[in-house]
Chains A and B, each alone.
Chain A
Amino acid sequence: MDTRNPDETEQPGTAVNPDRRDFLNALAGAAFAVAAVGSIAVTVEYLSPNVLFEPPTNFRIGPPENFALDSVTYLPEQQVYIVREPAGFTVISAICTHLGCITQWSEDINMIACPCHGSRFRKNGSVEHGPAPSPLPHFLIGLTSDGNLTVDKLTIVPPTQVFKA
């Protein structure tokens, strides 16, 4: 059914007015689409928190003397292992690369073990057996001018990189 105003169709066959209607419809449709995409974008933005009350990713762990030679120290708040070997220090993530459970250093088997699905890692973070798909990442460790070790969990370093303190 043609619901157009008779005034608009005074000159049949020119097809000027239907074009204008199509154009305005497309314009309105585009405006609604932009508004819809914008609403979704600001909703996602609103739902992404800007401030998080989580443990810092960059932290001090005290002077090197605190860690005995050939020891593995677990820091519960930061969820990392500080490994000190004759070659130097390495810092390894304590979060299992399989599904995110907290692993445990086991002195008896000289291994890092995950309680959830049985993954095992060696002291250098490499996988002894699965289901973990990848080794535990190593984090950057350094020394401040006043003699404190610092760890940066946002910087992942190759497992061969050892910090000589």
Chain B
Amino acid sequence: MSASLQSTLKGFCNNRVWRSIFRRAPARTNRTRSIAIFGNLFLHALPVKVREKSLRVRATYYLGSFSFFLFVVLTLTGIMLMFYYHPAAPKAYNDMKDLRFVVSEGIFLRNLHRLAAQAMVLAVFWHMFHVFYRGGYKPPHEFNWVIGVVLLLLTLFLSYTGYLLPWDQLAFWAITVGTNIISYIPILGKPTRFLLLGGHEIGENALLRFFVLHCVILPLAMIVLIALHFWRIQKDGGLTIRESDERK
């Protein structure tokens, strides 16, 4: 780097605006690097240091990170789709068709959302199997395992509520069958189905309710639990390291 560029960069970082945003000088030692992580709202839940073994591909296959990446993709594409989608019958179906054939890049965003959703279900299951076979549910990780199970259920609920939104025949009958399965629950089944659908049959109320669940309630629950899940990895002492890993 030429001397003039370096001095320009230094001048860029060395003014009131920069220092008002970034409270510290660049971290150059282990201590200041740690403090930079601890003192950052977004990073403080993450560990400052990790064992080298838990960074190996074989330790996680990055399945949890991949699930989270897909969740971010789904959030972004979902927000984009909401700009053209009305949760009303029969408008919802026409909006879905418009997204496919009229809106610029609509088909790309819709397919990305749909494929990422299917990939996320696969990734979360795969992540779960991998953690299970490594014994990641054992103490001190039991509570984080339970959070993970709830996250799996939320992923499935998100997948299921999203299934109704295109308002086509496939969606209609899938939700008919699914909500009838719910009504087989003893005592609570029929009231639960009534509350979920906002009626006795699948109509406008059901579409709107599934939309609110899919776009607001379930994603918020998901974000809170994902944050808790990441934070607990660090608090429980990092990833599970097996004895066979240690010997190598």
Contact = CB atoms under 8 A, between A and B. Distances in A.
A116 B170 CA distance: 11
B200 A52 contact: yes
A52 B205 CA distance: 9
Interface string A44-67: 100111001110000000000000
Interface in A37-85: 44, 47-49, 52-54
A101 B172 CA distance: 10
Most buried by B among A49, A52, A54, A100: A100
A94 to B, nearest CB: 13
B142 interface: no
Contacts of B199: 49, 52, 54
A137 B194 CA distance: 20
A98 B180 CA distance: 8
Contacts of A49: 198-199, 205
B195 A101 contact: no
Interface in B178-195: 179-181, 194-195
B interface majority secondary structure: helix
Q: How large is the interface on B (under 10, 10 to 19, 20 to 34, 35 or more residues)?
A: 10 to 19
B75 interface: no
A101 B169 CA distance: 12
A53 B181 CA distance: 24
A99 B200 contact: no
A44 B196 CA distance: 11
A54 B177 contact: no
B175 to A, nearest CB: 10
B200 A100 contact: no
A48 B177 CA distance: 21
B143 interface: no
Interface string A80-116: 0000000000000000001111000000000000001
A interface majority secondary structure: loop
B6 to A, nearest CB: 57
A54 B173 contact: no
Contacts of B195: 44, 47-48
Contact of A99 (B176, B194, B198, B201): B176
Contacts of B181: 99
Contacts of B194: 48
Given A52-B205, A99-B180, 6 more contacts: A47-B195, A47-B198, A53-B204, A98-B180, A100-B176, A116-B177
Interface of B: 173, 176-177, 179-181, 194-195, 198-201, 203-205
28 contacts: A44-B195, A47-B195, A47-B198, A48-B194, A49-B198, A49-B199, A49-B205, A52-B199, A52-B200, A52-B205, A53-B203, A53-B204, A54-B199, A54-B200, A54-B201, A54-B203, A98-B180, A99-B176, A99-B181, A100-B176, A100-B177, A100-B179, A100-B180, A101-B173, A101-B176, A101-B177, A116-B173, A116-B177
